[in-house]
Chain A
């Protein structure tokens, strides 16, 4: 029997020996197949492109390892495993687990918990964040801490996640089951209070008998410190000592320690300078000398800005009991006006060039003013400017020349000194691009100014150039050598990287959007160089489709000269509904009594559905309703027009509008496109095809003034407009210009009645005169010919065109009813100057304006000597959506019986 046992054991050992060893020896094994499963389901093609191992290759742990890291970089998977089956012929399977993302969280339980405040302090599981157990744990801690801050201690929180069906998203729920709350039994103060306990308690929101919340107590500490600050105890400290908790009764006793420190009183003698200018300096612990110096600098700057260019200040500190008195004795000197500045000793710059560089050119004569304090700063600014131009030793001295008793002319005496220049620029180690190409990318050039920071910028520019040419891993350092006294040789030592080819482009995250819609925006292709500027442009264009909330492009390096491009997309919300309510004014008020002014409600509603059929198309329905007008517009918008990149709009609308002398109803359809010229940024072309049928419902002019046969009438028209917008801000422009011209040709097609040609051009210019003074002008020209029914004619008058008449009332009138009939020619000229009023209210300004305009019945009557004029002034307050305007206009040529003075209240810019 023992022999049988032994024999059996030997057989087993032999078999084990035969099978062992085959386990780990895979170096000669061939990969028969590679498959990918995501959450146990077959994956799409995209992910397989990231796997470096291919069927038919030898098994390689290195390639598998690399593939795992590349797949993880996509950010889509929380776990990746690779398993194999087979011995000599291996079947590899990549098992990927989708990474869950948080769709957001809700806080339930404890009704008294301030949910919105708590939610702001939880970061780990916010919408869009990847979800992990660790993040959930952290978020629970964040919430617990936030609850403690709100006075709910040792909270028992049950947190869990619920998976959203058919999605990788989860909803996180925090259920607050219980927490300890304490009431304040007593508030005590210690230290030198200087005020009564009641005075201090009145400043606090924490009350005896009320709930204890550390966040509220922290605000109370700040309130108390502010209270002491108002009483000139500028360095007062209030500290909360360790609270005394009575666990059994759920109460806590609080003690606040007050350390008022010295009372600091600021005196400014000899000039009317607000002490509030100096007080903040002494709120922190500061060396007294520094505090005095800073105070003197502020006082002198303040006085100089008000014309006291030669003010002097002496300062001292006096200590009296528990007080520090900071005393500034000011000798303001004469108040002087500043004559135009002069420069002497200039060789490298002309005076105009220098003024332009320093932003002190007087764009509008008599209206340019340099603040007095800046006069003294200009010397330093000029020295810095010269330094950047290669002049390391420039010295600028400011002198004054009296022009009478009350005016001085500032004179800057400039000693430019020697200029350091670049003797030569060389590129060492650069073989991929000719030196001329590299030279054209940088600012340093032979004979040009030498300035070390410019060389550093040149390195950055070269690195960007290499990346834009598809080269990665380039390193550049600059070696500068002095070859002569003031001449430097700049040698850029380039260690070029590798030209990288894009092997695969993988796109993911487009559940609804069609792949073609995305690939149409690609500026790079597989097999091409990985040009960085083209990759960035791709990102910009995909974002420009307006259907993705996030677009990420990752470069996944496969080898030194190949990479995969991974485009990860998050589709945004597709449905938007909005509604608005506002006020409209029908036109200029009929009396100066603004409280009787007619102000009416206006409502707007909008429904938008985006990314229809996955083609990045948008369908919107907008309705506007007010007493004066009603409008419903349906718009279909898509980014391409039969494959051509033109943002295309198909509109259908119905509208009804009440004008001064008529009311009309119109229905129509139009097709228009918006196209920006390639390589000519800011130029936009908008061609339009339109068909509309217009019915005039009420006419308050003689019918002879228009052709009766054209009631109602239809138009088909083709038009185009060209725009160029270089304003810095479309709502509150300060500088730049805007130009547009639109031509519409209404042709009697499809039995339509109208036959006219209409041109309208506009040019606006905004000029900043100084920091807060702005000048702007607009000119508008409208010309028309042919049969133009009254709704197609030009009208002017009112707060947005000519502020000498009421809305629409400029130009020819109906002889019987006296209502405006519009015209076929229009010219408008508007000038505005906006001035500051209070330095503290930067958004409030005063405006002076001059308008000149007219409307003519026919182009033959057009004449620039036949313009009506209006002047006026007003106030405007800048808001993010444009200014609120209150304006008073005087018509300089009003007819007898016509109102000369008009008041306008408007929202939005005049033009």
Chain B
């Protein structure tokens, strides 16, 4: 609790203290060393830099087509980049996407961020449209690889559909105060849900196994202003 100074000396101390503080704040920005860029992760000898991470994060690429999903931490975004890089490296995927699709995603990013801020960010990173497409391609390609790898091969049995209907769909509907539809009428929808869930589980397990075998190094400790050191996920916690 602030108390008034009792004597002249104390007054002078406080005044000069404030002046000194103001002087520090007035010091031109950047006379200290500031991290500009650097390696934040290496995945099987492929580098992810701080700029790569910032582009994905600040332009919102990590949330493309998943706007309603949960918020992702900075470390979570980096982990997603690591997984994405690993999937593409391991499968040696040839990334070819129609330009129309890339343009659609580009517009989606712009709309999501706001056109002015989006352009500002593009200028800050000195990115051309084509260079941004590279980041978009990698992200979409890794998702497509997982879908192609698992969704097409996953087979769903009637028993699994029944279990999903009874254990998940019906309770959810009742919790919403709605009457569950008969199973036969929504069979396709149920099958799609079960398939999607199984695909997700299989792909997560596959990615986990990839991570165990991969050579991954993370260097986020150099960039505390971007990564909270309390968010940890890494080899020591078991990929």
Q: A residues near B, CB below 8 A? A: 1, 5, 8, 11-12, 15-16, 18-19, 22-24, 27, 60-65, 68-69, 72, 78-87, 90, 92-93, 95, 132, 134-135, 137
- On chain B, the residues within 8 Å of A1 by CB distance are 2, 4
**CB-CB under 8 A for A87 and B29, given A5-B2, A62-B127, A134-B215:** yes
B33 touches A84 (CB 8 A): yes
**Chain A min CB distance to B29 (Å):** 4
CA distance A87 to B126 in the complex (A): 18
Q: Inside 8 A of B127's CB, which chain A residues have their CB?
A: 62
Query: With A5-B2, A90-B30 as given contacts, are A65 and B235 in contact (CB-CB < 8 Å)?
Result: no
The answer for the CA separation of A1 and B28 in the assembled complex, in Å, is: 31
Query: Is B226 part of the contact surface with A, judged by Cβ < 8 Å?
Result: no
Most chain B beta-carbon neighbours within 10 Å: one of A24, A69, A93: A69
Asked if B37 and A64 make an inter-chain contact with CB atoms under 8 angstroms apart, the answer reads yes
Q: Of B2, B39, B125, B217, which contacts A68 at CB under 8 A?
A: B39
Residues of B within 8 A of A8 (CB): 18
CB pair B29–A62 under 8 Å, yes or no, is: no
Given A81-B39, A81-B222: A69 and B47 interface contact (C-beta under 8 Å): yes
Q: Which of B26, B47, B215 contacts A72 (CB 8 A)?
A: B47
For B99, the chain A residues whose CB sits under 8 A away are none
- B22 touches A (CB below 8 Å): yes
Q: Does B79 contact A (CB under 8 A)?
A: no
Some 5 contacts from A to B, beta carbons below 8 A apart, are: A19-B26, A24-B124, A64-B36, A68-B37, A92-B36
Complex Cα–Cα for A64 and B37 (A): 7
**Among A60, A83, A86: residue with most chain B CB under 10 A:** A83
Q: How far is the CA of A85 from the CA of B38 in the complex (A)?
A: 15
Q: Is the CB of A79 within 8 A of B39?
A: yes
Interface residues of B in 27-50 (CB under 8 A from A): 27-39, 42, 47, 49
In the bound complex, do residue B39 and residue A23 qualify as a contact, i.e. CB atoms below 8 Å apart? no
Smallest beta-carbon distance B137→chain A, Å: 17
Closest chain A residue to B120, Cβ basis: A27
Shortest CB distance B172–A (Å)? 42
Most chain B Cβ neighbours within 10 Å, of A22, A23, A62, A87: A62
Nearest 4 interchain pairs by C-beta: A81-B38, A62-B126, A65-B51, A22-B29
Tell me if B52 is interfacial: C-beta within 8 Å of chain A.
yes
Contact in complex: B49, A69 (CB < 8 Å):
yes
| B window 198-232: CB within 8 A of A | 215-217, 219, 222
B25 contacts chain A at the CB level, 8 A cutoff: yes
Q: Give the shortest distance, in Å, between A188 (CB) and chain B (any CB).
A: 36
CA distance A27 to B216 in the complex (A): 33
Residue on B with the closest CB to A137? B235
A27 touches B123 (CB 8 A): yes
List, in ascending order, chain B residues with CB within 8 A of A95's CB: 38
Contact B36 A82 (CB under 8 A): yes
State whether A132 touches B217 (Cβ < 8 A): yes
Of B22, B29, B222, chain A has the most CB atoms within 10 Å of the CB of B29
Instruction: Please measure, in the bound complex, the distance between the C-alpha atom of A63 and the C-alpha atom of B127, giving whole angstroms.
Output: 11
Asked whether B67 is an interface residue with its Cβ less than 8 Å from the other chain, the reply is no
46-78 of chain B: CB within 8 A of chain A: 47, 49, 51-52
Complex Cα–Cα for A81 and B31 (A): 18
Interface assignment of B131: CB less than 8 Å from any CB of chain A: yes
> Secondary structure at chain B's binding surface: helix, strand, loop or mixed?
mixed
Instruction: Choose from A12, A63, A69 the contact partner of B22 (Cβ within 8 Å).
Output: A12
Other than the given A63-B126, A79-B39, A81-B37, 19 more pairs (CB < 8 A) read: A8-B18, A12-B21, A15-B26, A19-B26, A22-B28, A61-B36, A61-B37, A61-B51, A62-B127, A62-B131, A68-B49, A69-B49, A72-B47, A79-B219, A84-B34, A84-B36, A85-B31, A95-B38, A137-B235
Q: A19 near B29 (CB under 8 angstroms)?
A: yes
Residues on A with beta carbons closer than 8 Å to the beta carbon of B216: 134
Are B124 and A27 in contact, with the CB atoms below 8 A? yes
Complex CA gap A93/B127 in Å reads 23
Question: In whole angstroms, what is the CA distance A135 to B4 when docked?
Answer: 61
**What distance in Å separates the Cβ of A123 from its nearest Cβ neighbour in chain B?**
12
Is A83's CB under 8 angstroms from B36's CB?
yes
Contact A87 B39 (CB under 8 A): no
Q: Of all chain A residues, which has the CB nearest B3?
A: A1
Nearest neighbor of B125 in chain A, beta-carbon distance: A61
Closest Cβ of chain A to B169, distance in Å, is: 42
What is the minimal beta-carbon distance from A136 to any residue of chain B, in angstroms? Answer: 11
CB distance from B26 to the nearest CB of A (A): 6
Determine the chain A residues whose CB is within 8 A of the CB of B25 once the complex forms. 12, 15-16, 19
Alpha-carbon gap, A22 to B25, bound state (A): 12
Are A81 and B29 interface neighbours, CB within 8 A? no
**Contact yes or no, A86 B31, CB < 8 A:** yes
A68 touches B22 (CB 8 A): no
Q: Are B29 and A82 in contact (CB under 8 A)?
A: no
Residue from the set A19, A63, A81, A84 with the largest chain B CB neighbour count within 10 Å: A81
Given the known interface contacts A15-B26, A19-B25, A86-B30, the answer about A65 and B37 at a Cβ–Cβ threshold of 8 Å is yes
Identify which of B27, B33, B131 contacts A85 (C-beta below 8 A): B33
In angstroms, Cα B18 to Cα A11, docked, is: 10
A65-B52 contact, Cβ under 8 Å, with A81-B35, A84-B34, A86-B30 = yes
Least CB distance from B133 to A in Å reads 14
Interchain CA distance A27-B126 in the complex, whole Å = 9
Is A62 in contact with B33, judged by CB distance below 8 angstroms?
Answer: no
Contact B35 A134 (CB under 8 A): no
The complex places the Cα of A65 from the Cα of B48 at a distance, in Å, of: 10
Rounded to whole Å, the gap between the CB of A466 and the closest CB of chain B is 20
Task: List CB contacts (< 8 Å) of B85-131 with chain A.
Answer: 123-127, 131
Residues of A near B219 (CB, < 8 A) are 79
**B49, A65: Cβ atoms closer than 8 Å:** yes
Question: Which of A63, A83, A132 makes the CB contact (< 8 A) with B34?
Answer: A83
A204–B92 CA distance with the chains assembled, in angstroms: 46
Interface pair A80/B38, CB less than 8 Å apart: yes
A253 and B165 CA atoms in complex are apart in Å by 49
In whole Å, how far is B47's beta carbon from the nearest beta carbon of chain A?
Answer: 5
Nearest CB of chain B from residue A423's CB, rounded to whole Å: 33
Q: Which residue of B lies closest to A138 (CB)?
A: B215
Q: How many whole Å from A84's CB to the nearest CB in chain B?
A: 5
A72–B125 Cα distance when bound, in Å, is 20
Contact A83 B35, beta carbon cutoff 8 Å: yes
Chain B positions within 8 Å of A24 at CB level? 124
B contact residues around A27 at 8 Å (CB): 123-124
Chain B's closest residue to A24 (CB) is B124
Residue from A16, A24, A60, A64 having most chain B Cβ neighbours under 10 A: A64
Find the A residue at minimum CB distance from B32. A85
Enumerate chain A residues within 8 angstroms of B47, measured Cβ to Cβ.
68-69, 72
Are B21 and A68 in touch, CB under 8 angstroms? no
The answer to whether A83 and B123 touch across the interface, beta carbons within 8 angstroms, is no
Docked complex Cα distance between A90 and B36 (Å): 11
Asked if A68 and B38 make an inter-chain contact with CB atoms under 8 angstroms apart, the answer reads yes
Asked if B18 and A84 sit within 8 Å, CB to CB, the answer is no
Knowing A23-B29, A61-B51 are in contact, say whether A82-B37 is a contact too (CB < 8 A). yes
Q: How far is the CB of A66 from chain B (nearest CB, A)?
A: 9
| B-chain residues with CB within 8 Å of residue A86 when the two chains form the complex | 30-31
C-alpha spacing A16/B217, complex, angstroms = 37
Are B51 and A87 within 8 A (Cβ)?
A: no
In the bound complex, what is the Cα–Cα distance between A716 and B2 (angstroms)?
106
- Closest A residue to B15 using CB positions: A8
How many angstroms from the CA of A95 to the CA of B223 in the assembled complex? Answer: 14
Residue of A nearest to B123 (CB): A27
Bound complex: CA of A875 vs CA of B136, how far in Å?
71
CB neighbours of B30 from chain A (8 A) = 22-23, 84-87, 90
Name which residue of chain B comes closest to A29, CB basis: B30
Q: How far is the CA of A82 from the CA of B39 in the complex (A)?
A: 9
With a cutoff of 8 Å between Cβ atoms, the chain A residues found around residue B52 in the complex are 65
What chain B residues lie within 8 Å of A69 (beta carbons)?
A: 47, 49
B33→A83 contact, CB < 8 A = yes
Taking the closest CB of chain A, its distance from the CB of B79, in whole angstroms, is 16
Q: A24–B25 Cα gap in the complex (Å)?
A: 16
Q: Interface centre among B28, B39, B47, by most A CB within 10 Å?
A: B39
Q: Is the pair A72, B33 in contact by a Cβ cutoff of 8 Å?
A: no
